[in-house]
Amino acid sequence: MSLRQECLWEQLTSTRPTAGALSGELKVDVCVIGAGITGLSAALHLLEQGKNVCILEAHETGHGGSGRNVGLVNAGMWIAPDEVEAKLGQAVGSKLVATMGAAPALVFSLIDKYAIDCQLRREGTLHMAHNSRGLADLQSRCEQWQRRGAPVEMLTGSACREATGTQRIAAALLDRRAGTLNPMAYTSGLAAAVIQLGGRLFHHSPVTRLERQGSAWWVITEHGVVKAEQVVTASNAYTEGEWTELRRNFFPGFYYQVASTPLTGDAAARILPGGQGAWDTRQVLSSIRRDADGRLLLGSLGSGTRKPAWFLRAWADRIQRHYFPELGKVDWQSTWTGCIAFTPDHLMRLFEPAPGLLAVTGYNGRGVTTGTVVGKAFADYLCQGDPQALPMPLQPMAKVGAAGLRSCLYETAFSLYHAGQCLRVVI
């Protein structure tokens, strides 16, 4: 079977929003740039508070990381709670930790409120220790979250083997706050809710210029202009054009996934039987999850776009046979890659470079929950004018040094590691 370069989530989302390009002049309270999870969450919560909103998308809804990610509804951030507080200080750090710990509940509430069909599972996630060092890290994370009252626990022995479906993992951290979904379906559902509440959505309308004209912002595209009191830039890793400094505040990285055909039988049924999404503690991690049709989805850091199909298939075979050898030969159906906005300290950045102009970047691979939280926070801040509505303080923009070199070094390291996996030198 040939390995197709296509995003599985797009194929599995039957109802996606359609919209024409902006033409002419439009006046709104708030113009949102980017129809991903952040922009749609911002628009939705602004509309709920009575604002007149439009969204400009350079491509189509969910084109970027919002529709291409793993679909993990994670609690917290990439780095552990104690480290967040050490970097930001107790007051700021503890607020951010608490906000992001509750982030899955916000996602679930929107799905319930707007009846979004996105194959949601609320059974949590599993972070799997691949060696003793990984186990020590997970034990520390578990203790830190339990100290804050979070419903997390370490699974070991038979409980771990039954939950993960593999004999290769001796322990895993189960986070019951979390879950999984189809990210394109979730993004499309948010867009449908925005339209339902009267929001205006425009596809194929990349911004070419942003100007301040008196008391209003002029958001200019090739064929139109939006005049708005306030603007939210929610393009994150997919920021395009020279009109904004945002793309200089992160360095891009990538994440690819490979999906099998639907699997059946007892061996397949034993893989993540509780419906959790999982990933291991390797520095170049592997993610593992199933979809609603029983496909096995494997993913890792790096771009799969320029890698030949045989390489991606060999990599997927290696990971599958290591963790789930009882499956035998697996047919791999599709592969796709998404872009991630990384920051050197793995913390996001919130900006207000001018009054009434907000921007965000640096989700570091936690887009489903972080985007939903930041979108709501931006809406509340614009409506209330209270900085306490934000999960962390606004910061001045600061260019990430040697961003291109960082990206190149990351990608080279990831590719070499994956080559080693394919050659069975490492796992």
Q: What digits encode the pLDDT tens for the residues 289-334?
A: 999 999 999 999 999 998 999 999 999 999 999 999 999 999 999 9
CB 17 within 8 A of CB 195: yes
Q: What digits encode the pLDDT tens for the residues 97-154?
A: 999 999 999 999 999 999 999 999 999 999 999 999 999 999 999 999 999 999 999 9
E strand or H helix that includes residue 44: helix 37-48
Q: What digits encode the pLDDT tens for the residues 225-243?
A: 999 999 999 999 999 988 8
Measured CA to CA, the distance from residue 363 to residue 385 in angstroms comes to: 24
Measured CA to CA, the distance from residue 238 to residue 69 in angstroms comes to: 13
- Write out the DSSP string of 370-418: HHHHHHHHHHHHHHH--GGGSSS------PPTTHHHHHHHHHHHHHHHH
Taken in order of first residue, the domains within the chain and their CATH numbers are: 4-422 (3.50.50.60)
Q: What digits encode the pLDDT tens for the residues 158-206?
A: 999 999 999 999 999 999 999 999 999 999 999 999 999 999 999 999 9
Q: What digits encode the pLDDT tens for the residues 379-426?
A: 999 999 999 999 999 999 999 999 999 999 999 999 999 999 999 999
- Closest listed residue to residue 22, CA positions, set 190, 153, 203: 203
pTM value is 0.97
DSSP 240: -
CB 146 within 8 A of CB 152: yes
Measured CA to CA, the distance from residue 285 to residue 271 in angstroms comes to: 18
Residues with Cβ < 8 Å from 359, sequence gap 6 or more?
Answer: 232, 233, 234, 244, 246, 350, 351, 352, 353
User: Residue 329, by phi and psi: left (phi above 0), alpha (psi -120 to 50) or beta?
Assistant: beta
The dihedral built from the CA positions of residue 19, 23, 25 and 30, taken in this order, carries a sign that is positive
DSSP 15: -
